[in-house]
Amino acid sequence: MPTARVTLDTMAERLAGVTECPGFEAELFLLHTTGWNRAQLIARMNSPVDDTPLEPLILRRLAHEPVAYILGSWEFFSLELAIEAPLLVPRPETEELVERALSHLAPDAGRVLDLCTGTGCVALAIACNAPESTVVATDIHPVAVRVAKANGERHQQSLSVFEGDLFSALPEDTSPFRVVVSNPPYVEATTWDGLAPDIRNYEDPGALLSGVDGLDCIRRIIAEAPDWLLPGGLLALEMGESQGAAVLALLQDRGFVNCAIVKDLAGHDRIAQGIYPASI
């Protein structure tokens, strides 16, 4: 049998054509099949490994299937979350949405609503880091509702997840929220054919596309959010890197104040936020 080092090198060479991080993905697959942690892998680089279980994983990745779907889980905000197709794979830039919510909640607790929750990654990250808060989530996709609930149970969080279209999924007697967050669809429909095959062939178009300019869902959220926010409540939305000016204008036109754009770690405009109304 080949050593772990040889196995990693061979996998990375094969994966180089489908990913910018072949070594990293090769390592993830080897850790997954061996059950080792990274420290154990480093210590056993010259140990023989059975590479037979790796072949089906490699073939799936060579077909551009996202690594998260192949592994069945993904890390977000230091939380290990179950994931399955076609739910949107949690991305690092979305962690800034969690930071915005936690910043507004501190030092007090509050009610939080996460729209378009997907795997529940944002809702759970907030719940785990603001344990005195009550977090509610909605999603129109039944798979998302099931997976988000399962992830809540996995992390021992009593996450309420409702199936339906944005705010309309909430029960009629729902109390208002101190924070509303969302990573909504914001991709222009005309760009679909140009997206990477990892996205186009596997992830849910409904979680990505939002009209000609990508703002259809964001417009709806901004229009309806004041009806669900407490005075001084925060609305924070992930958006495309070229949409900042348009989303700021939508927030201001709806009466939000202290509106701002927050950049992600790559320096791109990523989160738009505003307070409704001016003060508590």
pLDDT digits (tens, 9 = 90+) for 203-251: 999 999 999 999 999 999 999 999 999 999 999 999 999 999 999 999 9
Q: How confident is the model at residue 280 (pLDDT cuts 50, 70, 90)?
A: very low
Convert the pLDDT of each residue in 75-114 to its tens digit.
999 999 999 999 999 999 999 999 999 999 988 889 999 9
Distance between CA atoms of residues 24 and 27, nearest Å: 5
Read off the pLDDT of each residue in 59-83 and give the average, rounded to a whole number: 97
Tell me if residue 88 falls in helix, strand or coil.
coil
Contacts of 145 by beta carbon, 8 Å cutoff, 6+ apart:
139, 161, 162, 163
Stated pTM of the model: 0.94
Surface-to-core class of residue 280, CB atoms within 10 Å of its CB (0-12 exposed, 13-18 middle, 19+ buried): exposed
Given the structure tokens 């919510």, which residue do they identify?
Answer: 101
